Structure 1
Amino acid sequence: MPEDLLRCAREARGFMPEDEGDLLFAEAVRRAPHGPLLEVGTWCGKSAVYLGAAVRVAREVGNADAVAFTVDHHRGSEENQPGWEYHDPTLVDAHDGRIDTLPFFRRTITEAGLEDEVVAVVGRAPLVARHWRTPLAMLFIDGGHTDEHVTNDYLGFGRWVMPGGTLVFHDVFEHPEDGGQAPWRCYRRALTSGSWEEIEALGSMRILRRVQGEPGDPT
């Protein structure tokens, strides 16, 4: 990963361990030449820098159409709200008292010089998913961590991953004492569906390859 972008990724606000970020970048480099990358849940843009860096690498070797999309409403997940463990009061908009990570995301992407590589879609994932029709080379799910949100992201966008494309789950914890269980349950659901096979695991990150179905088919 280019040193300037690696530095931006490391310094950006977020919750991505460095080794998992490196793995995300490596998988995105493999997939970016084959079609769009999409992440659900970007927070302040830390993971988007890893994806945008992969897009830049792909473009430098002739894949001019490589691109990464991010989908986020930028109001924070449940655990980011006041009174919860991951609340950060510096991200609250003084005007309306709500979390607003969009300015911080924009600053991260601007400082990284990735405004042409990363396209922000601002909105709630289920609504965006209802209108999404573009086959994906890679899907990264790292949005809300309730069963409802993770499952909606998987069902709404996972169906658009192309054959041979990959589905990346973050914050997958087998044991409750290590973290929330919703991503684990959704990851297991994908594995048992017959549509996916696991190809790599590191920390809380799991990478699955689509082995059955065409874009648009239910997963």
Structure 2
Amino acid sequence: MSIQLSVDIDNIKGFLAASEGEALFHLATKAAPLGACLEVGSYCGKSSVYLGSACRESDNILFAIDHHLGSEEHQPGEEYHDPDLFDNGAQLMDSFRTFRANIRAAELEEFVVPVVAPSAIAARRWNTPLGLVFIDGGHSREAALTDYRCWARHIVPGGFLAIHDIFPDPADGGQAPFEIYQLALASGQFELVEMVDTLGILRRI
């Protein structure tokens, strides 16, 4: 089923395939009766627009967690460094200004709540039940495990855990997202719903 967005999603920087974004949109719609949505790793807002647009339709909220300083692979000299997002004055990556502009253009400011902080700090006093958690933060083993351990426990029964960039074959990509996907299944608390390209969708039992 095609979806309607308020912006041209192809103009937003990011690494989410259209099929994965549409799957997130429909997943957020299903999750709405269960609780708020939350994503870890917003970058410039591509996934936030998909999830936030679903929240707008269902009168829900998306909490968008990101320190906006870029993951390891976004730093100067690394493979996915984008000089347009580098703050020369601060000598730091900073995707927050671009993120805010994209959320504003998509008319989602009432439905997307940015939390500009590292995942572990944002989770420290978190008490809001969640219907959907989407993990797409740092892809180091430490970062992925932190995101999973901080947020999966807040998903209500029947709620969803979505993990991006799952590559079972190490030749195709980094293994940290695949590791937390396996960890979730091995916990006995989650069951696989479907895979959409590299997006794994699980349900809290």
Same fold (TM over 0.5): yes
Counterpart Cα distance in 1 of 2:190 and 2:68: 30
> What is the root-mean-square deviation in Å for CA atoms of aligned residues?
1.1
Please name the residue that 2:184 is paired with. 190
Select between 129-138 and 7-16 the one with higher mean Cα deviation: 7-16
Please name the residue that 1:93 is paired with. 87
Query: Residues 5-44 of structure 1, C-alpha deviation per residue, up to 9 Å, x if partnerless?
Result: 3x43332111101111111111111112321000000000
Please name the residue that 1:177 is paired with. 171
Query: Residues 164-203 of structure 1, C-alpha deviation per residue, up to 9 Å, x if partnerless?
Result: 0000000000001110000001100110110000001111
Structure 1: which amino acid aligns with 2:165?
D
The answer to whether structure 1 residue 55 and structure 2 residue 55 are counterparts is yes
Counterpart Cα distance in 1 of 2:164 and 2:3: 23
5 Å-filtered alignment, 1:22-171, equals 22-59=22-59, 66-171=60-165
Structure 2: which amino acid aligns with 1:168?
A
Report the number of matched residues. Answer: 204
Please name the residue that 2:16 is paired with. 16
Structure 2: which amino acid aligns with 1:184?
F
Counterpart Cα distance in 2 of 1:72 and 1:159: 19
Structure 1 position 4, deviation (Å): 3.8
User: In the superposition, relative to structure 1, how do residues 161 and 115 fare at CA in structure 2: closer, same or farther (>3 Å)?
Assistant: same
Structure 1 position 205, deviation (Å): 0.3
Counterpart Cα distance in 2 of 1:52 and 1:39: 10
Structure 1 position 2, deviation (Å): 5.0
Partner-residue secondary structure (3-state), 1:110 = helix
Counterpart Cα distance in 1 of 2:124 and 2:83: 32
Counterpart Cα distance in 2 of 1:181 and 1:25: 25
Partner-residue secondary structure (3-state), 2:195 = strand
Structure 1 position 3, deviation (Å): 2.9
| Percentage of matched positions with identical amino acids | 46
Is the contact between residue 55 and residue 68 of structure 1 (CA under 8 Å) also seen in structure 2?
yes
Partner-residue secondary structure (3-state), 2:8 = helix
Counterpart Cα distance in 2 of 1:24 and 1:2: 11
Query: Residues 47-95 of structure 1, C-alpha deviation per residue, up to 9 Å, x if partnerless?
Result: 0000111011112xxxxxx111000000000000011110001100121
Is the contact between residue 3 and residue 22 of structure 2 (CA under 8 Å) also seen in structure 1?
no
Higher helix share: 1
Partner-residue secondary structure (3-state), 1:138 = strand
Is the contact between residue 5 and residue 53 of structure 2 (CA under 8 Å) also seen in structure 1?
no
Is the contact between residue 34 and residue 156 of structure 2 (CA under 8 Å) also seen in structure 1?
no
Is the contact between residue 45 and residue 108 of structure 1 (CA under 8 Å) also seen in structure 2?
yes
| TM-score, normalising length: structure 1 | 0.91
Structure 2: unaligned runs, 5 residues or longer: none
Select between 25-34 and 161-170 the one with higher mean Cα deviation: 25-34
Structure 2: which amino acid aligns with 1:19?
S
Structure 1: which amino acid aligns with 2:110?
D
Is the contact between residue 45 and residue 109 of structure 1 (CA under 8 Å) also seen in structure 2?
yes
Counterpart Cα distance in 2 of 1:180 and 1:4: 31
